[in-house]
Amino acid sequence: MKSRVLEGMTCEECKVVKLCLGSTVSDNSYTKLNHLIKYVQTYVSGEHLYLAPNKPDYLYALHSGCCKEYFIDQNGEEVITAFYLPGDLIGLEYCYKNYSRFNVSFVENSTVCLIPLSELYHENSYLAPITARQAISHYLTQVSLPHTTSAQSRVAAFFLELIYRQKIFYQRETPLPFPMILLDISNKIGVANETLSRMLHKFRDQHILVLEHHAIVNYDLAKLEEIAGVEFISTFYPSYKPQSKAQGN
């Protein structure tokens, strides 16, 4: 555990503050957040943040890196319920249930900010309504994608959300890293790994989405949105903001 002050980290200077607690916090409230969030913790790829059932002392905000949330089903198979990217809050479920059904492990070296859970429980907590909204949004990402949607739509929607989030964090158009392995992505969106590979080859041939060495190097946002469907994206990936060009098609 490291001091945020000694690491030179503040909420107002964070690149993903608008995706995190700062999304609904006024500028004059950053002082409160900086006073509240005193520590950060670093993890390496493969480490667990926590295992179910878990009763931690903190809510976590992902400052950098990526992790996955999963459970083991009755057949002993891993089922991925979410990927977390910079700006996401991790552990929202146990804020209101006092335990978690899920495990969280890191898929690349990462840093998290530690938010004391005690802050959410006192009567005048200004963080409670923020985390409640975040919890609803996170629940939607855990809901199994409807089987009525095509595999192509699921793949397009997943990468649209990833592109949107990584552009904010890296502050560039390309290349945009994606740390997840394809097997985990297929697990999360509910398509066979072979189907995902076939779709990605098709997208590459049509210059819709080009991946190279765990990086997104080219993409056509309008085409991806057309394939995914704006209504589908807004329902299951609520943080994504559709592009005006695509909306006008």
Task: Count Cα neighbours of 248 within 13 Å in the Cβ-side half-sphere.
Answer: 3
CA distance 19 to 86: 8
Which of the two residues, 197 and 16, has the higher pLDDT score? 197
Instruction: List, in order of start, the domains of the chain with CATH numbers.
Output: 2-130 (2.60.120.10), 151-247 (1.10.10.10)
CB 60 within 8 A of CB 113: yes
Label residue 152 by pLDDT band (50, 70, 90). Answer: very high
User: Which among 137, 89, 93 has a CA at the least distance from the CA of 235?
Assistant: 137
Label residue 133 by pLDDT band (50, 70, 90). Answer: low
∠ CA 142-22-37, nearest 5°, is 95
CA distance 238 to 52: 26
Strands 209-211 and 58-64: unpaired
Model pLDDT for residues 92-113, shown as the tens digit of each residue: 776 666 667 889 999 999 999 9
